Amino acid sequence: MDLFSKRDPYAVWISETMLQQTQVSAVQTAYKKWMQDFPTVQALARASEDDVLLHWQGLGYYSRARNIHKTAKQVVQNGGKFPSNRQDLEALPGIGAYTAGAILSLAFHQNEAILDGNLVRVFSRLSEWDFLPTRDKAAKDSYWEEAYNWANAGDAFLTNEALMELGRTVCKKTNPLCESCPIQKICKAFQNGRATAFPPQKQTRYVSWIGFALAICDSKGNFLLQSSPQSPFLKNQLTFPIFEYADAFKNIFPGIAENVISPENVKRFAFTGTVEHSITRYKIQCRVLCVEAKSHKGLPGSWIPKQKLPQKIISSFAQKIVILTHDF
């Protein structure tokens, strides 16, 4: 493709949304599969939510996938073309300032600014800014003003992509290749030998979560999956019922599990292991309680054969639970 040719706004939107808070290596395979199965916004709008979520498997933050699906439907309802201005783009579900700027810059070749993690790192080092754009409005405005200074120089689609690539390959988070950097002469952090001191580290405070997952099966090896609206990290996903429970490590049948299955319907049960996982701000310790039910009575949800669970469950956390059901 000609370097100066305009890109498909749909493809830019999908790739940039996937890359938010996700490593490039994890996105590459998922993006190829996505574009193969949903090559146009119309194809995406026709897909079921379950199919969309399965294609998002492994990328995390599943609200992004749901917002993508909602936006696809809105775009199709409005004639199938993406808006070509920031205000209308940012009015669509899940499209924020960065994604809107990427679409306008890379697809429509407008002199619009973008600000992703790579550009934050480059700008912080250039000016030795010891603050992040998430802290307050003044900090955020400083970064966006710098981003617009670069974009307004002209051909922002080239400048923005060059800055992103510079941040990804040269101005790296660790072991930056400062000696190879084409803008080292205007970089304060390089001049002062302090590149790795910028940007400041973002402090993440994790919340400890202890509980259990209820893996209910029948005599034929089918497992019950339900949506879990009470879970803070697998909300509305089809998964095993999950409960926060301080006494999860006691080897007794938790009374709270009776919210799903009555004791009279329990044929046998066993704790089969513990899953340790981190999601957003949660550090999770989740025991797996496998239960064989006498019947399906009073157990609404989807009964899935054990061998098909990996295809039906989208989160990596729930996939670990699946593994601990194998020997039950």
Evaluate whether 109 touches 157 at the Cβ level (below 8 Å). Answer: yes
Annotation marks residue 16 as catalytic:
yes
Nearest residue to 113 (alpha-carbon basis) of 133, 128, 132, 99: 99
Task: At 127, list the tokens.
Answer: 């000016």
Q: Considering 16, 90, 112, 292, which one is annotated as catalytic?
A: 16
Distance CA(229)–CA(204), nearest Å, equals 25
Backbone angles phi, psi at 58, to 5 degrees: 90, -10
Distance CA(310)–CA(328), nearest Å, equals 16
Nearest residue to 17 (alpha-carbon basis) of 7, 25, 27, 32: 27
| C-alpha 138: how far from chain center | 27
How close are the terminal C-alpha atoms of the chain, in Å?
Answer: 53
Nearest residue to 298 (alpha-carbon basis) of 198, 224, 240: 224
Backbone angles phi, psi at 172, to 5 degrees: -75, 160
Nearest residue to 17 (alpha-carbon basis) of 106, 99, 76, 108: 99
Regarding beta strands 282-293 and 207-217, do their DSSP bridges make them parallel or antiparallel, or are they unpaired?
parallel
Evaluate whether 183 touches 146 at the Cβ level (below 8 Å). Answer: no
DSSP class of residue 298 equals: T
In residues, how long is the chain? 328
Nearest residue to 142 (alpha-carbon basis) of 130, 153, 155: 130
Catalytic residues: 16
